[in-house]
Amino acid sequence: MSPVVVLVGPPGSGKSTIAALLASRLGKTHRDTDTDVENEAGKPISDIFVDSGEAAFRSLERAAIVAALQDEGAVLSLGGGAILDADTRADLAGHNVVFLDVSLSEAAKRVGLGVARPLLLGNVRTQLRNLMEARRPLYAEVAKLTVDTDGRAPEDLAAEIVEHLG
Ligand X SMILES: O=C(O)C1=C[C@@H](OP(=O)(O)O)[C@@H](O)[C@H](O)C1
> How big is the chain, counted in residues?
166
Per-residue binder mask for Mg ion (CB under 5 A), 7-46, x = binder: --------xx------------------------------
152 binds, among Mg ion, ligand X, ligand ADP, none (CB under 5 to 8 A by kind): ligand ADP
* Buried-state track 28-56, b at ≥16 Cβ within 10 A, e below 16: bebbbbbebbbeebeeebbebbeeeeeee
Adjacent-strand bridge partners of 97? 6
The number of C-alpha atoms within 13 Å of 9 and in the hemisphere containing its C-beta is 28
* Buried-state track 118-128, b at ≥16 Cβ within 10 A, e below 16: bbbeeebeebb
The yes or no reply on residue 146 touching Mg ion (CB under 5 A) is no
Query: Residue 17, annotated ligand binder?
Result: yes
Between 16 and 103, name the residue whose CB sits nearer to ligand X.
16
Determine the 3-state secondary structure of 97 from DSSP. strand
Between 16 and 96, name the residue whose CB sits nearer to Mg ion.
16
Q: How far is the CB of 17 from Mg ion (least distance, A)?
A: 8
Between 34 and 101, name the residue whose CB sits nearer to ligand X.
34
Query: Residue 80, annotated ligand binder?
Result: yes
For the chain, how far is it from start to end, CA to CA, in angstroms? 19
Per-residue binder mask for ligand ADP (CB under 6 A), 86-115, x = binder: ------------------------xx----
The yes or no reply on residue 73 touching ligand ADP (CB under 6 A) is no
CA distance 56 to 33: 15
- Applying CB under 6 A, which residues contact ligand ADP? 9, 11-17, 77, 80, 110-111, 149, 152-154, 157
